[in-house]
């Protein structure tokens, strides 16, 4: 029977360790607007990795380094690090108690935790940048599971269409992620003096590893669509996740007796972590512990937000951790003398129309602003949020969390400092002045 060796997973775990050591020793400052690593730090980290990108200058953003982007997100999603600001407002990655738990694991347990974090918590659709990306994950897993280790898979092997196989072009990030986890190698296409787009092929061939073939045989039965929390949230199914069963049971048009029986049995047995399904191919007794990724605790205290419309008009608003995002919305409306007569959203990553948002109770799209308190959001000092009010006129407020401090909690939100005159919510055309006022 096949068994995993340390050499199959050591490069993956070592690269993650290299990243963590760099973060803790060098303490790189994250960018103010996006909260990610800067070009120089990315270039230096990349040079230390086994799974590195071939670059000769620090000219690339995080998304251009697939492996560093993956590791950066695994560190945050696994709650091993959180973003935190110093007194000057500089934002860093700061280790948590969970990182101590991770460090105490053996190499097999570390690998299993990283893979489970990817499988269950990584926003697959976002890294795909394509609404159909999730189905291609299943396609790649099935193909690798049925492959012969060491035999090259060329274009058409995954889609069964030679003229169209997106994992060789705009979905090549799937292969690069699985390459990091040791599932496969790949032969890149080297373009010289030719400008390419994401729709051009960047991979010539994919080469399954023995480890990849065997672990994919297990993952075929543990489909990412059944485990991935961001995906299940998209389907409004995050309240009753039953790993490995949820999606196919709920969405199969005519679920079979076997599906119903499996669903009921799993429901009785309760949550089973993914790493338990991986045990048969790992050394006996190697997977005993993991990291407890606890639900975010409520961060108590008072929160000071700076709400800005441009550089010259802003209000600082004080709220308690008990107040909701709806309370913050009403406080902004009052502070800027708006009429609270349109729909709105808070985009927690400051990206307009992103999925990481809370919405007006009057919309059809959840989650809603009245369902979450400020203290439950896991905010960090320095974090930026976009508050979009009135989808027609599109008033875009920049909100920054300036400070969290302990004191007597205010009963109601209040403005504690302000600058500039608020603009009129409705701009009327004045013929004499020949401008909107």
**Region 194-201 average pLDDT:** 80
**Region 223-234 average pLDDT:** 83
Confidence grade of residue 1 (pLDDT, cut at 50, 70, 90): confident
Task: Establish if 241 belongs to a structural domain.
Answer: no
**Region 317-341 average pLDDT:** 96
Task: Establish if 351 belongs to a structural domain.
Answer: yes
pLDDT at position 429: 36
Task: Establish if 402 belongs to a structural domain.
Answer: yes
**Region 54-63 average pLDDT:** 94
Q: Could you give the CA distance from residue 323 to residue 371 in angstroms, rounded to a whole number?
A: 10
Do 23 and 160 belong to one domain? yes
Confidence grade of residue 207 (pLDDT, cut at 50, 70, 90): very high
Instruction: With a cut of 60, say whether residue 328 has pLDDT above it.
Output: yes
**Region 87-101 average pLDDT:** 91
CATH number of the domain where residue 347 is located:
3.10.290.30
> 288-304 pLDDT, tens per residue?
999 987 656 788 999 99
Task: Establish if 274 belongs to a structural domain.
Answer: no
> 16-27 pLDDT, tens per residue?
999 999 999 999
Do 53 and 186 belong to one domain? yes
Do 82 and 175 belong to one domain? yes
**Region 266-281 average pLDDT:** 81
Of 218, 234, 250, the position where a domain reaches its end is: 234
Task: Establish if 325 belongs to a structural domain.
Answer: yes
pLDDT at position 246: 57
Do 225 and 80 belong to one domain? yes
Top-confidence residue, 63 or 258: 63
Instruction: With a cut of 90, say whether residue 313 has pLDDT above it.
Output: yes
Confidence grade of residue 240 (pLDDT, cut at 50, 70, 90): low
Do 204 and 344 belong to one domain? no
Range of the domain at 307: 302-419
SS3 string, the chain, reads CCCCCHHHHHHHHHHHHHHHHHHHHHCCCECCCCCCCCHHHHHHHHHHCCCCCCCCCCCCCHHHCHHHHHHHHHHHHCCCEEEEECCCCCEEEEECHHHHHHHCCCHHHHHHHHHHHHHHHCCHHHHHCCCCHHHHHHHHHHHHHCCCCCCCEECCCCCCCCCCCHHHCCCHHHHHHHHHCCCEEEEECCCCCCCCCCCCCCEEEEEECHHHHHHHHHHCCCCHHHHCHHHHHHCCCHHHCCCCCHHHHHHCCCCCHHHHHHHHHHHHHCCCCHHHHHHHHCCCCCCCCCCCCCCCCCCCCEEEEEEECCCCCEEEEEEECCCEHHHHHHHHHHHCCCCCCCCEEEECCCCCCCCCEEECCCCCCCCEHHHCEHHHCCCCCCCEEEEEECCCCCEEEEEEEEEEECCCCCCCCEEEEEECCCCCCCCCEECCCCEEC
Task: Establish if 63 belongs to a structural domain.
Answer: yes
pLDDT at position 431: 42
Number of domains in the chain: 2
Do 135 and 227 belong to one domain? yes
Of 203, 234, 265, the position where a domain reaches its end is: 234
Task: Establish if 266 belongs to a structural domain.
Answer: no
Do 20 and 138 belong to one domain? yes
Task: Establish if 229 belongs to a structural domain.
Answer: yes
Do 28 and 176 belong to one domain? yes
Which is nearest to 376 in space by CA: 386, 389, 367, 388? 367
pLDDT at position 436: 37
pLDDT at position 174: 93
pLDDT at position 428: 44
Do 201 and 318 belong to one domain? no
Confidence grade of residue 86 (pLDDT, cut at 50, 70, 90): confident
The two beta strands, 91-95 and 81-85, are antiparallel
How much is the pTM?
A: 0.84
Do 228 and 326 belong to one domain? no
């Amino acid at each position: 029977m096949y068994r995993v060796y340390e050499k199959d997973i050591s490069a993956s775990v070592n690269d993650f360790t290299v990243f963590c050591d760099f973060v803790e020793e060098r303490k790189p400052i994250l960018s103010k607007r996006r909260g990610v690593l800067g070009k120089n730090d990315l270039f230096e980290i990349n040079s230390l990795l086994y799974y590195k990108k071939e670059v000769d200058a620090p000219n690339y953003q995080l998304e251009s380094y697939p492996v560093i982007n993956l590791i950066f997100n695994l560190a945050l999603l696994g709650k091993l690090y959180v973003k935190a600001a110093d007194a000057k407002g500089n934002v860093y990655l700061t280790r948590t108690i969970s990182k101590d738990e991770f460090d105490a694991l053996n190499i097999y347990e570390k690998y299993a935790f990283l893979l489970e974090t990817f499988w269950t918590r990584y926003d697959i659709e976002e890294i795909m940048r394509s609404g159909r990306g999730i189905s291609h994950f299943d396609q790649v897993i099935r193909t690798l599971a049925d492959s012969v280790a060491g035999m090259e898979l060329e274009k058409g092997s995954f889609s069964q269409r030679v003229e169209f196989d997106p994992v060789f072009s705009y979905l090549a990030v799937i292969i690069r992620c699985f390459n990091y986890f040791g599932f496969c190698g790949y032969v890149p296409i080297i373009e010289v003096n030719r400008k390419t787009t994401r729709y051009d092929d960047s991979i010539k061939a994919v080469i399954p590893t023995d480890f990849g073939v065997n672990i994919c045989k297990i993952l075929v039965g543990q489909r990412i669509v059944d485990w991935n929390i961001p995906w299940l949230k998209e389907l409004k199914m995050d309240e009753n996740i039953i790993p490995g069963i949820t999606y196919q049971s709920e969405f199969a048009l005519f679920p079979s007796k076997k599906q119903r029986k499996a669903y009921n049995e799993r429901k009785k047995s309760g949550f089973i972590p993914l790493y338990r399904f991986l045990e048969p191919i790992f050394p006996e007794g190697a997977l005993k512990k993991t990291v407890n990724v606890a639900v975010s605790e409520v961060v108590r205290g008072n929160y000071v937000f700076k709400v800005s419309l441009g550089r010259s008009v802003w209000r600082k608003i004080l709220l308690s951790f008990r107040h909701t995002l709806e309370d913050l919305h009403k406080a902004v409306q009052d502070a800027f003398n708006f009429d609270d007569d349109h729909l709105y959203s808070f985009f927690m990553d400051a990206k307009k129309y992103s999925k990481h948002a809370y919405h007006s109770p009057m919309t059809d799209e959840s989650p809603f602003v009245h369902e979450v308190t400020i203290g439950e959001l896991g905010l960090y000092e320095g974090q930026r949020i976009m508050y979009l009010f009135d989808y027609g006129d599109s008033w875009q407020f920049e909100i920054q969390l300036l400070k969290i401090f302990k004191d007597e909690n205010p009963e109601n939100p209040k403005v504690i400092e302000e600058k500039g005159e608020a603009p009129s919510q409705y701009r009327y055309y004045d013929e004499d002045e020949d401008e909107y006022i």
